[in-house]
Amino acid sequence: MEQNSARAAKDSAFEYLGRNENEIALLNDCIFYFGELGMQEHETSSLMCRLLEENGFDVIRNLSGFPTGFCATWGSDGPVIAVHTEYDANPDNSQMPGVSSPLAIVEGAPGHCEGHNANAAVMVAAALAAKAAMVKHGLPGRLKVFGAPAEEQLVSRPYFVRDGHFDDVDVAIAPHIGSQFGVGHGLIQSALISAYFTFHGESAHAGSAPWKGRDALDAVILMDVGMAEYREHMMPQSMCQRVITQGGDQPNVIPKRAQVWWYFRGPSADAAMSVFERAKKIAEGAALMTNTTVEVEVQSAVWPVRGNRTLAELVQKQFQEVGAPDWTSEEDALARELQERAGVKVEGLARDMALMKGPAVQKPSSNDAGDISWKTPMAKFYFPANIPNISFHHWAAGVALATPIAHKGVLAGARVLAASLIEIACNPQIVREAKLSFAEETAGVTWFSMLPAEQKPPLELNRAVMEKFRPLMQSHYPVRRPAFS
Ligand SMILES: [Zn+2]
Cα–Cα distances in Å, from 375 out to 82, 158, 245, 303, 369? 12, 11, 34, 10, 10
Question: How far, in Å, is the centroid of ligand 1 from the Cα of 151?
Answer: 7
b/e sequence 364-389, b meaning 16+ C-beta within 10 Å: eebbbbbbbbbbbbbbbbbbbbbbbb
pLDDT in tens, 309-333: 999 999 999 999 999 999 999 999 9
Question: How far, in Å, is the centroid of ligand 1 from the Cα of 406?
Answer: 15
Confidence of residue 429 (pLDDT cuts 50, 70, 90): very high
- Please state, for a pLDDT cut of 70, what percent of the chain lies above it: 99
Question: What's the pLDDT score for residue 30?
Answer: 98
Question: How far, in Å, is the centroid of ligand 1 from the Cα of 120?
Answer: 11
Question: What's the pLDDT score for residue 55?
Answer: 97
DSSP state letters, 361-410: PPPS---TTHHHHHHS-EEEEEEE-S-TTPPTTSGGGGGGGGSHHHHHHH
Q: Domain 191-302 carries which CATH code?
A: 3.30.70.360
Question: How far, in Å, is the centroid of ligand 1 from the Cα of 283?
Answer: 31
Q: What is the mean pLDDT of residues 216-233?
A: 97
Q: What is the mean pLDDT of residues 279-305?
A: 97
> Which of the residue ranges 55-69, 277-291, 451-465 would you say has the lowest mean pLDDT?
451-465
pLDDT in tens, 367-391: 999 999 999 999 999 999 999 999 9
Q: What is the mean pLDDT of residues 47-69?
A: 98
Question: How far, in Å, is the centroid of ligand 1 from the Cα of 445?
Answer: 26
Question: What's the pLDDT score for residue 413?
Answer: 98
Confidence of residue 274 (pLDDT cuts 50, 70, 90): very high
CB contact at 8 A, 203 and 254 = yes
Confidence of residue 96 (pLDDT cuts 50, 70, 90): very high
Question: How far, in Å, is the centroid of ligand 1 from the Cα of 157?
Answer: 13
| CATH 3.40.630.10 correct for 2-189+304-476 | yes
Question: How far, in Å, is the centroid of ligand 1 from the Cα of 38?
Answer: 12
Question: What's the pLDDT score for residue 357?
Answer: 80
Question: What's the pLDDT score for residue 3?
Answer: 62
Question: How far, in Å, is the centroid of ligand 1 from the Cα of 435?
Answer: 26
**CA–CA gap between residue 239 and residue 241 (Å, rounded):** 7
> Which of the residue ranges 212-216, 349-353, 416-420, 461-465 would you say has the lowest mean pLDDT?
349-353
Question: How far, in Å, is the centroid of ligand 1 from the Cα of 150?
Answer: 10
Question: How far, in Å, is the centroid of ligand 1 from the Cα of 327?
Answer: 23
Question: How far, in Å, is the centroid of ligand 1 from the Cα of 180?
Answer: 15
Domain ranges for the chain, please list them.
2-189+304-476, 191-302
Question: How far, in Å, is the centroid of ligand 1 from the Cα of 116?
Answer: 6
pLDDT at 251 over 60: yes
Confidence of residue 2 (pLDDT cuts 50, 70, 90): low
Question: How far, in Å, is the centroid of ligand 1 from the Cα of 368?
Answer: 10
pLDDT at 209 over 50: yes
Q: What is the mean pLDDT of residues 50-57?
A: 98
Q: What is the mean pLDDT of residues 352-370?
A: 88
pLDDT at 1 over 60: no
Question: How far, in Å, is the centroid of ligand 1 from the Cα of 358?
Answer: 21
Q: What is the mean pLDDT of residues 170-176?
A: 98
Question: How far, in Å, is the centroid of ligand 1 from the Cα of 85?
Answer: 9
pLDDT in tens, 121-170: 999 999 999 999 999 999 999 999 999 999 999 999 999 999 999 999 99
